[in-house]
Amino acid sequence: MKEGLIASFLIIVVATAGYYTYDNYHRTEEYYTKVVTEGEPITLKKEDGETFNRYRYQLESYKSPSVSKKVEIDSVENQPFKKDTYLKVKFSQEEGVTSLEEIKDVPSDIKNELDRL
């Protein structure tokens, strides 16, 4: 009986630690950014050897007016982002930018920060 309780306790501790470790590395946070530069053209190669172009941007992004982070994003193949476009970026500590979407509505306090860029 005693060994069963100890084993159950250890399983719970290991599972909890695993969950928090996974959550820390894979949790995404939403940041907002504004395209303020032209972007740097880069050429990439597909697995079959075919090349294609993208545009790379390094932009300041905001989670709140007091929390900001510089993010690096790439445009869709052969299409740069339009200047002054607002983007919502999902960022993971382990994976970096995991997704982005063009948006029109930005929280007003964050929009004020972005419009100063």
How far is residue 86's CA from residue 104's CA, in Å, rounded to a whole number? 7
**Residue 5 within any structural domain of the chain:** no
Is residue 3 assigned to a domain? no
Could you tell me the CATH number of the domain that includes residue 102? 2.40.50.480
Q: How far is CA 41 from CA 13, 38, 50, 58, 116, in A?
A: 49, 9, 17, 12, 25
Q: Is residue 104 in some structural domain?
A: yes
Task: Please tell me the total count of domains within the chain.
Answer: 1
- Residue 85 belongs to a domain: yes
The rounded distance, in Å, linking the Cα atoms of 22 and 84 is: 35
For residue 2, tell me if it sits in a domain: no
Six-digit token string for 82: 């339009």
Q: Is residue 6 in a domain?
A: no
The per-residue pLDDT for range 72-107, each reduced to its tens digit, is: 998 887 889 999 999 999 988 777 888 889 999 999
* 72 inside domain: yes
Average pLDDT over residues 45-66: 91
What is the percent of the chain with per-residue pLDDT over 70, rounded to a whole number?
86
Query: Which tokens is 114 given?
Result: 């972005």
Domain that holds residue 80: 12-115
Q: Is residue 4 part of a domain?
A: no
**Cα–Cα dist 66/31, whole Å:** 12
Residue 5 has pLDDT above 80, yes or no: no
In this predicted structure, what is the pLDDT of residue 9?
67
DSSP helix/strand/coil, 116: coil
